[in-house]
Structure formats: C-alpha cells, structure tokens
Chains A and B, each alone.
Chain A
Amino acid sequence: MLQGALAGLAAGGLYAVLGVCLTLMSRLVRVVNFAQAATGMFGTYVAVWLVSDAGLPIWPAVAVGVVIGGSISALIGIIIGTWLPEADTGSRSAVTVAVLLFLISLSFILFGNRPQPFRPVLSGPAFQVSGVVISQVAIFTVVVAVLVALSAHVVLTKTSVGIRLRALSERPTTAELVGIPARTLSVAVWATTGAVGTLVVAIVAPTQSNDATALSMLVVPAAAAALLGGFRRLDLAVVGGLVLGVLQGAAAQLSQLSVARHFLPFLFIVGLLVWSQRKEVWDAAR
C-alpha cells in the first residue's frame, strides 16, 4: 500500500502543478481555466506526433509542444482580454469551457481518438528506500510543483512585475489608469501557465490514462487541489494535489477501492465545499 501511495506521487505532483496554475490564473487574471489540462494535452499530443511521425528527438519535440501549449493559452488570454476585459469571473471562465471542448474535438480530428503512443521522457526509479521505489517522474513532478509555487510566491511579493500583477488582479481598470499594461501582463500569465502545464503533462502522460479526454479531465483533480487553497493559496494547492495523488495511489492498491479512486477528486471537492460553507446560514449563503 505504501508503494501504491508513493506511486501516486507522480499524479499528485501533476495535480499540484496544475492546481498551482489554476490558482495563479484565478488570482491574477480572474479565470478558472477549465482548459488548463486540455492545453497541456494538446501540446503533448503535438510533441508525440513530432516524435512518432516527424522523427524528432524527444526533448526538442517536448520543447515544441511546450511552446504550442503556451501559445494556445496566450491566444485564449488575448481573446478574453480583448472581448471580455471587464466581465466577471464566471463569464471569463465560461470561455475556457468552450476551449476545453474545442481542443478535445480538434485532437480527435488531428490525432484520432485512441490513446497516443507516448515514449516516456523520464522513466525508471530515482531511488529506493526500504524496498519502496520512488520514480523519477514522481520526484520531477513534486519538485516542479514546489518550485513553481515558490517562484510564483517570490515573483508576486518581491518583484515589480509581481506587484503590478497583484494590482491588476485587484482592480483591473484602476491598474490600467495608473499605467500598468494589463493586457501584456495577463497574456504573459496565460502563456506561462500554459507552458508549465504542458511540460508536466508531457512528462507524466506516459504514466497516466493518456487519451485526450482523460488528460483534459485532469483539470478536475487539479481544481480539487486549488480548492483546498481557496484558489488563493499556492502552498495549499501543492499540498492538496499531493494528498489527492497519494490517496488515489493507495486506493488503487485495495481491490475494494480501486474503482472508487476515480471519484476521489469529486468527493474531495464536495467535502471542501461543504466544509467551507459550514458556518453559512442558508439565506445568507444565497
């Protein structure tokens, strides 16, 4: 069971990175990006195609995929920034649902509807402790999750760009009135989160169910992770992702729970929502 739990760390790290990206998007550009994982899926599929059909080596192919993921994400940011700059979070987020469906459909058209023949970018054990194997992928995703969260925190609190981004997230119109280039900064956030999301999906995809829909729906456990931090706290998003991954890994080891592990993110979300509303009076909450 311990081996299973630790095997879940790879997925947990992926949830954590995507959860951090969702948190950053929510905080900085007022969007719950339902297309976060789908963007990564599409960039990764392009990378797979470049390896299998164009004969490119794996790392350059992944680099191209990351650029494509970042570019798709930036394009969504430009569209939202152009046509919905003052809209509320719900309306802006609804656009990303359309993009999610579009990317899944486009991947079916371009790459077919079967799982892709992924060649692992990282494979094999990193080290072994008392007979329990920790994989390279698990180490990579956990480290990336922590690094992304830490560097985002440092940038947001210590740099001029970070202060501008926080100002932009709090009062977009006022930020523009004081000379902050809102659109450029927003698109940069979109591009960065898209690129980071694609990179981790490309690394972890060979260890997951890797059809387009399954990869795109990674946004659900990622949202559960982000929800633990209230879509505000990066550290709790990392913790949420890792805990969820470990729980799913452990559940997979028990035959009675192996099917139930797919529902864990939903249970996690429902539990967190109920917990967060525990002090609300019915009328006040509505």
Chain B
Amino acid sequence: MNGAVNTLELTGVTVARGAGPVIRDVSLTVPAGTVTALVGPNGAGKTSLLEALSGVIPVTSGSVTVGGTPITKLSRVARARLGLVHIEQGRAIFPGLTVVENLRLTAREPADIEGALEMFPELDKRRDSPAELLSGGEQQMVVLARAFVSRPAFLLIDEMSLGLAPVVFMRLLPMVRRFAEQGVGILLVEQFTHLALGLAREALVVSSGRVTYQGQAKELLNAPELLHAAYLGGADAPRQ
C-alpha cells in the first residue's frame, strides 16, 4: 500500500449540515496500519464526519491532513489520489459495470485485479457479471476489492454491515484486518459496536454530535458501563 503517507490527522474538526453542526470539535490521529473505531447512536454525526473527510460535504472548521498535507481545500478526486478511500454506506457498486470493470476503475496494475479476485473467489466466478446481479454480500466484496486494488493509504469504512446477514459480514470483517496488516490506516464506522471495538486499537464514541469517549478500544470493550455512558452522552470529557 502507499507507504509515503503515514497518518490521517484531524484537529478540531466541525461539520455542519443545513442549520447547524452535526458533529463538532473532533481531534484524532489515525496511524498507518491501525484500525480506529468510530461508534455511537444513529444520528450522532459519524457518516457526516467521514463524508467531510472524503470531500462529499465541506469541513466547517478545523484541519485535516494526510501525511502532513492539508486536504480540506482539495477536491474529492485529489483526496482519492492521496490515498484516502471512502467506502460509503449501502454497497456503493457501479451496478451496470461488471465485476472486473468495477475493479478496473481503481486498479493501478492489471495484476492487482487478479490478486483481488484471488482474495474473493466468489467474485472470480462472476467476474463478467454486472455487479447489480450479485448478492448483497458479493456486492460488498466488490466494493472492498475495488478499494484493495486502489492501494489506499487510508480507508474510511461506513457501516459495511448495513443490509448484510451477520454471517456474510463475518466473512468480510477479516478483510478489514488484512488491510490494516498491509499498512492501511482505517477509520471504521460500524453498527456492530463490539465487533468494531474488537478489531480496533483506538476508539471514539460520538453522541449528539460530540465526542463522549476517546481512548483504547480494549478498555471500552471491557467496560460495558463506560460504553453505555458514552452512548448516552454521559461521559463528561473526551479521554486521550
């Protein structure tokens, strides 16, 4: 993966939609090769934060850098070229394109496509099928494979489990770990909190647009009362 870029850094990031901020004052460092979990109740602002990082919506205030390069003024395309890849909610395939065509969009080398298809043998069998004809799990595999062949530096993964059977999601989860082992920094938003925390080194809990916990994922995993308090917005100050 892209070794030149080693941290994704957010400093005092606030994101607004319409009338007011949906998430405010987030400071966070995602090092290469680690998973950081971003969890919290629905409507807390997790998706908005990821969308602001990839440029779907603007960052209202604060700074974001990738390997020291400020990115808040960059276009979505420029951010993608810096290695920041956003896996959106809801299986963001290109439905009319075949599996291989979906991968060709981001592959640096043709050999990368074959590597991705080896990683997902299910897709190899259906390489020339339009992605819209695949099952939900296979479609999510296409999205992950497309990210894999782009050789990302950082992955922003938003609710990968959405609409998938748990057994299918469990098949995909090790791929996230594999990405991290290859040096990719991952910011993971996930509704299955315990699975996300089990995978992550660091964790943030956001509730009602503010960070209510920030620290070791393991600590949160081992202290359900802390997790509940953070979900309910009870923790007074973010912890580092």
Contacts and interface: CB of A to CB of B under 8 A. Distances in A.
Interface residues of B, number: 23
A179 interface: yes
A177 B56 contact: yes
B146 interface: yes
A174 B104 CA distance: 15
A271 interface: no
A122 interface: no
Contact of B105 (A167, A173, A181, A182): A167
A176 B146 CA distance: 14
Contacts, number: 56
B172 interface: no
A173 B55 CA distance: 10
A176 B76 CA distance: 6
Interface residues of A, number: 17
B86 A167 contact: no
Given A160-B104, A170-B94, A170-B95, A177 B86 contact: yes
B80 A179 contact: yes
A153 interface: no
A71 B211 CA distance: 50
A273 interface: no
Interface string A164-203: 1011001101111111111000000000000000000000
A178 B80 contact: yes
Contact of A180 (B77, B85, B88): B77
B150 interface: yes
Nearest to B131: A170
A182 B55 CA distance: 14
B101 A177 contact: no
Interface of A: 160, 163-164, 166-167, 170-171, 173-182
